[in-house]
């Protein structure tokens, strides 16, 4: 008979070894699995902020939205101010908590942002994240989006390298879905390389404002409404300087008032 292999006591693994193993897992795998194994493993999950530097990179599994938000808050608390990347659902009630728990954020991906009263709180929160480099926000139908959202975000986050704003499923009137207007100058974005704007009402003035204020822009992707025929030769030259350029192909439709 072969000798029986000795039983391993996984709880006795050194903390640095466990930390290395846990780093290969995502936050959800730790919170929903590894930390439930034993007291020693849970101690590592609670006492190693490095495990929670990237929150939400992998989707929380088998939980509802409310549980997901609760778990994200727990993960932010465990990060002890060291969180550098966060992906999750936020509304204005969560913004203050995010600022307090993750002042060193470099990457923020808000999967769904909702607030019936407007987006002023969002801008205030973004101003408190000076290290932010990558920002993506999907505004939901329940948001009252303020005119000049792009300008406001650029003003709050001047050091962004990548910015993605998705304005799908916003509120609408009897004629059409609302599209975020892009019309005018924006603050100087001296580091911005990638800009993506979805479901916008783009004007030539707005396009010129983007190109003039983003000297390092390499990729510009915009969907929604735009009248290409209004582009002059000077603006065509500016567009040619962008390596990857996608502009809306649809001209904004004209709606006539209903006959009474």
45 pLDDT higher than 70: yes
pLDDT 10s digits, 75-116? 888 888 899 999 988 777 788 888 999 999 999 999 888 766
Alpha-carbon span 105 to 107, nearest angstrom: 6
Cα four-point dihedral sign 78, 82, 85, 91? positive
pLDDT at 170 over 60: no
Work out the end-to-end distance of the chain between its first and last CA atoms, rounded to an integer number of angstroms: 96
pLDDT of residue 142: 58
Which neighbouring-strand residues pair with 221?
Answer: 196, 246
Chain mean position to CA 77: 20
Question: What is the extent of the structural domain holding 200?
Answer: 106-246
Mean pLDDT of the chain: 81
Does 199 reside within a domain?
Answer: yes
Quote the pLDDT of residue 260.
Answer: 43
Residue 77 belongs to a domain: no
258 — phi, psi (to 5°)? -65, 140
Answer yes or no: are the C-beta atoms of 62 and 69 closer than 8 Å.
no
Rounded CA Rg of the chain = 23
Report yes or no on 62 lying in a domain: no
Question: What's the structural domain count of the chain?
Answer: 1
> Residue 51: which pLDDT band, with cuts at 50, 70 and 90?
confident
For the chain, what percent of residues have pLDDT higher than 90?
40
Q: Is 158's pLDDT higher than 60?
A: yes
pLDDT in tens, 198-231: 999 999 999 999 999 999 999 999 999 998 888 9
What are the C-alpha distances in Å from 111 to residues 30, 136, 137, 186, 236?
22, 8, 6, 24, 34
Tokens, residue 198: 């979805």
178 lies in some domain: yes
Whole-prediction pTM: 0.82
């Amino acid at each position: 008979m072969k000798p029986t292999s000795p039983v391993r006591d996984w709880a006795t693994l050194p903390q640095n070894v466990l930390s290395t193993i846990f780093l290969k897992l995502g936050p959800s795998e730790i919170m929903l699995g590894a930390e439930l194994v034993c007291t020693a493993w849970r101690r590592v999950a609670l006492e190693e902020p490095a495990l929670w530097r990237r929150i939400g990179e992998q989707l929380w599994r088998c939980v509802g939205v409310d549980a997901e938000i609760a778990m994200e808050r727990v993960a932010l608390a465990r990060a002890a101010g060291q969180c550098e990347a966060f992906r999750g659902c936020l509304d204005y009630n969560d913004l203050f908590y995010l600022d307090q728990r993750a002042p060193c954020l470099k990457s923020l991906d808000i999967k769904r942002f909702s607030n019936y009263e407007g987006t002023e709180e969002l801008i205030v929160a973004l101003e408190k994240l000076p290290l932010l480099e990558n920002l993506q926000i999907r505004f939901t139908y329940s948001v009252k989006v303020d005119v000049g959202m792009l300008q406001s975000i650029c003003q709050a986050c001047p050091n962004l390298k990548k910015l993605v704003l998705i304005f799908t499923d916003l509120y609408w009137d009897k004629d059409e879905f609302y599209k975020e207007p892009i019309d005018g100058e924006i603050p100087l974005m001296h580091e911005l390389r990638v800009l993506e704007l979805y479901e916008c009402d783009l004007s030539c003035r707005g396009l010129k404002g983007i190109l003039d204020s983003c000297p390092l822009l390499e990729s510009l992707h915009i969907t929604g409404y735009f009248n290409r025929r209004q582009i002059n030769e000077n603006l065509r030259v500016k567009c040619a300087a962008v390596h990857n350029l996608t502009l809306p192909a649809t001209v904004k439709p004209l709606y006539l008032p209903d006959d009474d």
